[in-house]
Every structure is written in C-alpha cells, then in structure tokens.
Structure 1
Amino acid sequence: MKRLALRTGVRWKISIAIAAVGALIAMALSLVVHNAAQVSMLDNAREVQLERLLFAQRMYDSTHELKFGTKLNDPLLPNDLRKKVQEGRRATYVRDSGDGTPDVWAAVPLENGVLSLQSKFAERSATIMKDLDRALLIGSVCVVVGGCALGVLIGGQLSRRLRKAAAAAGKVAQGNTDVRVREAVGGVVRDETDELARAVDALTDALNERIEAERRVTADIAHELRTPVTGLLTAAELLPPGRPTELVRDRAQAMRTLVEDVLEVARLDSASERAELQEVALGEFVSRRVALLDPDVRIELVADSRVNTDPRRLERILGNLLANAAKHGGTPVEVTVEGRVVRVRDHGPGFPDALLRDGPSRFRTGASDRAGHGHGLGLTIAAGQARVLGARLTFRNAAPESPTPGPDETGGAIAVLWLPEHAPTATGSFPMITFPD
C-alpha cells in the first residue's frame, strides 16, 4: 500500500517551526508577565487597604466613630480572614466577587470585635491590567509574524541554495561533468549545503575518473585486438572453399565488427566527438538511405524539413535502428518522417522492460529470447550518436492491434529520433532544446 506523503518546501517548514516556537515563548512570557503584574498590583492594593484601615482605627479609637466605610463585626467578613484576626493578627484578603473585579478586605482586632474595610479592586488598576494584556497580545502577534518572516527569509535562502545544488547535480547526471555543484551554490555564508556540494563534487570526480579509466581500458583492449582480428580475417580469406571456411570467416567478421563497435562506444563515451554539420532535406535523405539499407522497409513522408546535421552520424543511427528492428523485431518495418522527427517501428515482441526503464545498455540484449543475438551495442551507439547531434532518441512499445491481446503481446517496438531545431556548435556545446512529450 502506497503511503501518503505531504510535500512542502524547506522555507515553510522553517517558518512554521520558528513561528510555533515564537508563539510558545510569547505565550509563556505573557502569562508570566500577566501573573506577576496582577500579583504585584494586588499586593499593593492590600497594603493600601491596610493603611486606610489602620488610619480609620486610630480615628475610631479617638472618636469611637466608624470612618471611610469601615464596619465593626461585619457579618460578610470572610471566614479565613476572621480566623486570622481572632488570633490577634492584622490581615488582608482578596476574594473574587464574580463580576471579574476582586474584593479587597482588610481587618484588625479590637477589644469589642473586629474592625474591617472592604472595597473593590481599583478601576485604574483593572484598566492597567487590560492595557497590559492588550500590549502582550499585540507583542505576541508581532513575534509570531516576525518569526514567520524570518523563517521565510532564512528558509528561502537555504531553499535556493538546495535548488541550485539539485539543478547542478542534474546537469552532472546528464553528462555535463564540467559543472561544479559548489560553484553553482555560491554564497558567502558556509553551511551544510556547502559540505553537501563538496561531497557531490568529490563523488563526481571519483566517478569520472573511474569511468575514464574503464573507457581507456576498453579502448586499449579493442585497439589491441584490432590488429590480430584483421590478421585472422585476412588469413581466413586464404582458406580453401568449404563450410568450415565460411564459419571461420563469419566468426572473424563478427569479431571484427564487435571490436569496431567497442571502439566507437569508447569514443562516444569520451565526449570528444564533434558533428560535421551539413544542411540536408531530412525526408529525401532518410528515404534514400533507408532504401539502400533495406529495400523492404516501408517509408512514409508526412512532412519534410531541412535540418543542419551530420549525415554520416544520422545514417549510422538509421542503420543501427533498422538492424535492430530486422534482428529482434518483426515485419513489416516502417519508417516515418514528420518534420524533424524520425520514427522506426517494427511489429515484433517490442522492447524489453529494462531497456524502456533504463535506456540502452552495452552488452545487454534484454529478453531471454534474444540471447545469443547481438551484444547490445547497436542501440547504445545510436543513442551516443544522437547525443553528438544534440538529438534525443526515445524508445517505447506500440499498443497491441488485437482487441484481446495476450499478457506478453505488444504492437511492436517504436524508436523515435527527435532532431533539434538548433544544431550543436563547433565546440560541441548544445543550446537549450525543448522536446515535446
């Protein structure tokens, strides 16, 4: 079962994290400040209430009159406050009145009872608390908004660096080994992105060295085999006629073809090949070359176009595609030219899944029914020559023509060569080319 994944950018993750942390900190600080201010103001109200009561007590002792709203033995006196006063102590008490404004009590013991004073928490103090809460709320919102903005700024910078690194790594994966991820990332501040870029560059260098070493070994082996194979083929021509001689000549020729193909693959892998451009009418060129290579192939010209390309390399691509269709596909083989697009289709079992998934690979022929037929170099060379031309070579299988196809039945293999609108330059660089899907 496929797991659902929520995809989001680094900048938004950092922004959300900073905003959440800022909100928690602002909330905690607001609660602490609110409680501390409320406790301080209530303590101050207790002290003021007690001072007023003591002054009223002195007035009562001298005049025996209750002043400033004091009461003697008030029945509404809270029990907790009454107990403390009965112990001979002066005390204050704060009680919630239910309307949001607490009552502040103060009481002192007398010989004939308890003298107490009750008043509401000062409206001015309540207003100050409301203003403080409003200021704390505004400050908290500003902290969250500022945290989001800071997160977007920091995350955006990190996201841009990562995107540049990914784009540079993608160019390296496409074969542009001159691209350096560290240079593409840029920037003055050094962070983990630079470490990642240096690691990718080091990996690229190591892979390039290994690939170059393998290419040189392959080219050296093929080059060393060319002389003895040529001698073997010459010697086979001197043998007397007969079936054994034909077998020797056939195998010697196959070995020579293999050596030449391996050398061509090595040259293509070195990325040193350059196209020799000429302007040709694509439809006429393909028709003449296909007719010479295989007269039985059907040719359909939908729309002609003039292109700047290398005729020798284009003929090599066509020859390999037709040879692959004749060897591994089924008749009829059809070639269609439509503008700058050339399609080669056969009606055989189709391309194997590995080739459709990973592209052509040397010395891999795909399905087991093709074992022993070829070395997997034909399509590899065709794809390499297409890269030199700045073109793209794609592979797919056609839909079955039967209304009830079998599990392994296909409508044949289709190879499509997309020639570019702009030809490669003399230095081998290529402009940006957009191919239709």
Structure 2
Amino acid sequence: MSFRPVKPLALRTGVRWKIAVAIAAVGALIAVTLSVVVHNAARISMLDNAREVQMERLLFAQRMYETSKPKEPRFGTKINDPALPAQLDQLMRDRRRGTFVQEHRNGGPPDVWAAVPLANGDVLSLHIPFADRSTAIMNDLDRALVIGSVSVVFGGCALGVLIGGQLSRRLRKAAAAAGRVAQGNTDVRVRDAIGGVVRDETDELARAVDALTDALNERIEAERRVTADIAHELRTPVTGLLTAAELLPPGRPTELVRDRAQAMRTLVEDVLEVARLDSASERAELQEIALGEFVERRVRALDPDVVVRVVHDSWVNTDPRRLERILGNLLANAAKHGKPPVEVTVEGRVVRVRDHGPGFPEALLKEGPSRFRTGTSDRAGQGHGLGLTIAAGQARVLGARLTFRNVASAAAPGGVGGAIAVLWLPDHAPTNTGSFPMLRLSN
C-alpha cells in the first residue's frame, strides 16, 4: 500500500494584514515595555518620597520623645516594636537609622517603616500603610497606561492597514497588468498600471517585469520573423515540388511523393498562418450569420459522419471564414486523435466538439495548445500540433474563447470518456480595424 504525502497546511494572508499585524505587534511590545518602565519608575519615586516623609516624621517624634517628661512615644511611634522588620533590626544593632518598605503577600498596600536607635539602646519606630492617595494615583496611572497601550496597538493596526492597503493595491495592479501581458496584450506596461507618486520597490519590480516583457517580445518577434521567412522561402520550392510530382507516372511511388509533398505544403501554410496570428495583425471581417445553420452546413461538408445537434440557434456577428477554419481544425483533431462518434453541439453562441477517444493530454489541459506538440502516447498520431494552435489563434482574432476538457467516465479506460473543445463566441467580434463595432441602442 502506498501513501501519498500530506501537503502542509498553507495559510494565505494578504500583505495588508501582515504589515498591520507586524506594526501592531511592535507597537504593543513598545507600549507594554514603556508602561512597565513608567509604572515601576513612578512607584519607586512615590515610595522613596514616602520613606523620606516617614523619616522626617520619626525624627520629629524622636525630638518630642527626648524632650518630653515623662518620655512617651507620640504620633503613632512605638518603642522596641516586636513587628520591626529584620532588615531594620539589623540596622538598629549597627546604631544606624533607616527606612524600609514592607510588602504584603495578599497584595495590599505596603507598609512604610522608619526606625532610629535611641541613646539608651531602645529603638523608636514608626510604620504606616502606603497612602491611599498614592495608591489611587498609581491606579490612575496604570489605567492611563493601559488605555494608551491599547490606543497605540489599534493606531498601529490602522496605520498598518493603510500602508499595507496601498502596497497591496499596487501589487494587485501589477499582478493584473502582468496577467494581461501573459494573455498576449504586450502593449500593457506594468509601471504605468500601478501609477502612484511614491517610488518604492514595487516600481523596481514593475520596471523589471516591463524589461522582461520587452526582451521576451523582441525574442518572440525575432523567432516569428525567422519562422515566417523560412516558411515563405519554402513555399516556392514546395509548390514546385508538388507540381513536379503531378508529372510523375502513375504508381505507388508517385502517390507517396505526392502525399509527402502535399503534407509539406500543408505544414508550410500552417506555419505561415501561425506566424500571422502571432503578429496580431489579423482582423476579423464581420458578417451576421445564423450560427446553428452555418455550423450544420459546414460540418456536413467537412465530414458527413459527424453528428450535429442544434439545441438553440442564435444570430452572431463573426467572421465565417475564420469560424470555418476553427471548426475544420477541431474536427480534424477529433478524427486523428479521438474515436467516433464525433458530436458537434450548438447552443446559443457556444459550439462544442466532442469525440469519444482517450481525451486531451494533461499538458494541453494545463497550458493550452502548443505548436509542434502532438500530445502524449495515448493521443499521438500524425500532425505537427499546429491544428489546435491555429484554432486558438483564430478564436482570439474573433474575440472568442476556446477551452478544452475531458469527459470523466468510470466505464472508459483511464476514467476518460472523450475530449470536448468548447468555442465561446462573444456578442460581437473585433472588426477589421481592431475595435469592436458600435451598437445602435433603440429606445
């Protein structure tokens, strides 16, 4: 038993939220750090002030104790208080006065102690809880720090959304422009698409994509010109070869020569057509036709064995010659690589061509038609892979969309019950000027 590796779970988030979370996290860290520092500094300052005040009170009480008769501790002071903290008790043994802040485990306000040694060896001490007013001040300070920290976090998050949103919009515009370039619209400039006044790394990326597009376009155009020139130069000798083959005496060798010469001529013509389509110089010549009737008539002329079914007829403005070329190539591909019966269905502006063969190869389904690629071994045959390439190119000239998919079938070998090519015609095809026709709106 084989086990398929489990793909790790990928969490997809936008740049906007990543920047917002990062700024909010940094703001929260800074706010918490500053809050802790300010809280501790304020508490230490207030406690130090309380200790100084406590010592002044104790010294005043000491003078009153030493000058009064009889000697009695006053103002809340005590002689040899048994609750005296050990730290102060050690200072008293060293005959040194001092203060001490005694914290309570229950979290209540601390006690502020002050103690002085007397001449007779006794210890005069005073302790009172940390002032309620000071505790209220600390609570107010803590509340202000919490509010400030929360405000910083939300403000940082809003700032991150604002900054990240602008960057995200620029990246989305760049991606959309790059997508249009990938679809063949080489006039699109990514740098112009993103716009903006501020210059950042996004502009550098856009310039790099534009430079890459220009380089690829130059290379593709050079290859197209070379291909077209070679095909054009081969056109004359191939025509001469075909003419000479017609003069050969009848026989099997003559048929083979004529067949190969005709195949070479077809290849040259297909290569020239692909070169013209790649140059984007082709324009549609529009005519209004009844799509169902047109398809049925042309398919019958191309292959009488094909089953034609018109579900819903529709009038369309399109180029009949190019539409017939697309149909012919799709039917030829189905005849070469598929199995009968071949079915053509017309429904509105949609034309479907289906066979019952092994289906389209995975590479074609993922990447689309590619010249000189005839498919995998289960769909291999004669040809050079130009038929579907030309069909897709002619569809682009018509402003149509040509898609490919396989029919799932549990009963068929490999689970594929045939291939379907779907031609989606638009409401109006581009005219011979490269634009779409103007429509008159009726009241």
Which amino acid is 2:183 matched to? Q
After TM superposition, the structure 1 = structure 2 runs for residues 29-178 of structure 1, keeping only pairs within 5 Å, are 29-63=34-68, 64-97=71-104, 98=106, 100-112=108-120, 113-178=122-187
Verify: 1:405 aligned to 2:421, yes or no: no
Question: Matches of 1:127 and 1:171 in 2, distance apart?
Answer: 65
Residue pair 2:338, 2:379 contacting (<8 A) in 1 also: no
> CA offset at residue 61 of structure 1?
1.8
TM-score of the superposed pair, with normalisation by structure 1: 0.94
Residue pair 2:285, 2:431 contacting (<8 A) in 1 also: no
Q: What is the aligned partner in structure 2 of residue 435 from structure 1? A: none
Question: Matches of 1:429 and 1:90 in 2, distance apart?
Answer: 99
CA deviations over 1:158-212 (Å, ceiling 9, x no partner): 1111111111111111111111111111111111111111111111111111111
TM-score of the superposed pair, with normalisation by structure 2: 0.93
> CA offset at residue 71 of structure 1?
1.5
Q: What is the aligned partner in structure 1 of residue 355 from structure 2? A: 346
Q: What is the aligned partner in structure 2 of residue 301 from structure 1? A: 310
CA deviations over 1:9-57 (Å, ceiling 9, x no partner): 1111111111111111111111111111111111111111111111111
Percentage of identical aligned residues? 82
Residue pair 1:345, 1:412 contacting (<8 A) in 2 also: yes
> CA offset at residue 425 of structure 1?
4.1
Question: Matches of 1:341 and 1:307 in 2, distance apart?
Answer: 11
> CA offset at residue 370 of structure 1?
5.4
Residue pair 2:337, 2:380 contacting (<8 A) in 1 also: no
Are the structure 2 counterparts of residues 144 and 410 from structure 1 closer, same or farther at C-alpha, using a change threshold of 3 Å?
A: closer
Verify: 1:421 aligned to 2:427, yes or no: yes
Q: What is the aligned partner in structure 2 of residue 290 from structure 1? A: 299
Which amino acid is 1:232 matched to? L
Question: Matches of 1:349 and 1:292 in 2, distance apart?
Answer: 26
Are the structure 2 counterparts of residues 200 and 430 from structure 1 closer, same or farther at C-alpha, using a change threshold of 3 Å?
A: farther
Q: What is the aligned partner in structure 2 of residue 201 from structure 1? A: 210
CA deviations over 1:389-428 (Å, ceiling 9, x no partner): 011111222233xx64333x63222211111123224432
- From 287, 291, 314, the counterpart of 1:278: 287
> CA offset at residue 107 of structure 1?
1.1
Give SS of 1:204's match.
Answer: helix
Question: Matches of 1:225 and 1:391 in 2, distance apart?
Answer: 32
Q: What is the aligned partner in structure 2 of residue 215 from structure 1? A: 224
After TM superposition, the structure 1 = structure 2 runs for residues 8-47 of structure 1, keeping only pairs within 5 Å, are 8-47=13-52
- From 373, 390, 395, the counterpart of 1:381: 390
Question: Matches of 1:343 and 1:314 in 2, distance apart?
Answer: 13
Give SS of 1:44's match.
Answer: helix
Question: Matches of 2:90 and 2:419 in 1, distance apart?
Answer: 101
Question: Matches of 1:240 and 1:20 in 2, distance apart?
Answer: 89
Residue pair 1:390, 1:430 contacting (<8 A) in 2 also: no
Residue pair 1:105, 1:119 contacting (<8 A) in 2 also: yes
Give SS of 1:347's match.
Answer: coil
For structure 2, list consecutive stretches of 5 or more residues without a partner in the other structure. Answer: 1-5, 438-443
> CA offset at residue 378 of structure 1?
1.0
Question: Matches of 1:235 and 1:139 in 2, distance apart?
Answer: 94
Q: Give the root-mean-square deviation of aligned CA atoms.
A: 1.6
Are the structure 2 counterparts of residues 430 and 351 from structure 1 closer, same or farther at C-alpha, using a change threshold of 3 Å?
A: farther
> CA offset at residue 354 of structure 1?
2.1
Verify: 1:368 aligned to 2:377, yes or no: yes
Residue pair 2:360, 2:379 contacting (<8 A) in 1 also: no
Question: Matches of 2:110 and 2:38 in 1, distance apart?
Answer: 19
Larger CA deviation: 417-426 vs 107-116: 417-426
Which amino acid is 1:96 matched to? E
> CA offset at residue 294 of structure 1?
1.5
Question: Matches of 1:293 and 1:406 in 2, distance apart?
Answer: 29
Larger CA deviation: 149-158 vs 291-300: 291-300
Residue pair 2:284, 2:429 contacting (<8 A) in 1 also: no
Q: What is the aligned partner in structure 2 of residue 3 from structure 1? A: 8
Which amino acid is 2:46 matched to? M
Give SS of 1:105's match.
Answer: strand
CA deviations over 1:366-395 (Å, ceiling 9, x no partner): 133555511111111111101100111112
CA deviations over 1:59-108 (Å, ceiling 9, x no partner): 12211332211122222222220220221211111112445111111111
Question: Matches of 2:303 and 2:132 in 1, distance apart?
Answer: 104
Verify: 1:262 aligned to 2:271, yes or no: yes
Question: Matches of 2:224 and 2:403 in 1, distance apart?
Answer: 24
